[in-house]
Structures are given as C-alpha cells and as structure tokens.
Amino acid sequence: MSWRRISILTALMLSLGGAASFLHSNSLLPQAIAQNTEAQPRPEWGKTRLIQELNLTSAQTQQLQTIQNQYQAQIAPRQQAVRQARQELFELMAGTASQSQIQEKHRQVETLQQQAAEVRFNRLLAMREVLTPQQRRQFAERMQNRWQNHKNRGQGERQSYIGL
C-alpha cells in the first residue's frame, strides 16, 4: 500500500475519532479481550490495561470480542495471502523472473494488502460504534501514540539501512 493511501486512511480514521489504519496483524483488542480479567491468572501486557484505560463495561467487552471474532475469520486468510505473495515476490526478485513478472507480483501484493486493510478498517469502524465518545477519544489518542512510536522506529531503521 502506498504511503499516500496510508496517510489518507489515517486521516480518515482520526477524523472519525476511531483509530489509525496502520494496524497489521496485531490488534489492540486481541481475541482474549472479552475474557474476565479476574479469571486470567497472568494476562498479556496491554489487554487488561486497555480495558482499564477505556473503562469498558462488561457488555462493551463482550461486544468487542464478538466483533473481533467475526472479523478475524476474514482477516487471517488475507494476512496469509499477503505473506505468501510477498514470499513469492522475494523469490522472483532473487531469481531470473522478468521485470514485468515482478511488477505484476508487486501489484498483487499491494492489492492483497489493500483488501486486508479494508477489512481491518471495517473492524475498527464496528468497534468504534461500541465505544462512548470519551472512549473514542482515549482510543484515538492511544492509537496516535502507537503510530508515532511506529513511525519513529521506522525512521531509525531506514536511516541505518541506507547508511545514515
């Protein structure tokens, strides 16, 4: 997906008061979010913290879990298809494939990434409907912080990659 598309989706998400569109396979509200936090002997860091930070009710937690389950069935195969297409692209790059074959595979990777991003975006929109306006603001702030941290890490990696 191009940076322009990412920027547009991010701006749209933030204007909706929902979240940023950069989420990949790791969700801020993973599958186990709906489990009762007292029943979890040692929850993964972040899951219960998010529930506490947003002050989610048990009904909201249940609804978010239902949304997560519904969309996970759509997201997982798309993510696998992206991984497979990327691997094929790397193999084409390393082999003797023509430029047109490589470009076509690259277009396929971008298309698959876009399809996966659309499903994740729709999941976030569904999740947004469960949250109160205050929770939406808190969630958007958290996502913005994650985006900034992600962006900062990426800049360091790019600089070291190009020898800066």
Backbone angles phi, psi at 144, to 5 degrees: -65, -40
Answer for the pair 116, 61: CB distance below 8 angstroms, yes or no.
no
Mean of all residue pLDDT scores within the chain: 74
Q: In the predicted model, is pLDDT for residue 119 greater than 80?
A: yes
Residue-level pLDDT at 100: 96
- Is pLDDT of 130 > 90? yes
| Amino acid, res. 126 | A
Letter for the amino acid at 22? F
pLDDT of 7 > 70? The answer is no
Question: Computed from CA positions of residues 139, 62, 27, 119, in that sequence, does the dihedral angle turn out positive or negative?
Answer: negative
- Compute the distance between CA of residue 63 and CA of residue 123 in angstroms, rounded to an integer: 12
Condensed to tens digits (0 to 9), the pLDDT of residues 83-107 reads 999 999 999 999 999 999 999 999 9
Query: For residue range 14-68, what is the model confidence (pLDDT) as tens digits?
Result: 333 333 333 333 344 433 333 333 433 333 335 567 777 888 999 998 998 899 8
Q: Which residue has the higher pLDDT, 11 or 115?
A: 115
DSSP label at residue 56: -
Cα dist. 39→8, 29, 42, 54, 160 in Å? 40, 17, 9, 19, 44
Cα angle, residue 120 at apex, residues 45 and 114 outer, rounded to 5°: 130
Q: How far apart are CA 91 and CA 97, in angstroms?
A: 9
**Which tokens sit at 89?**
């692209």
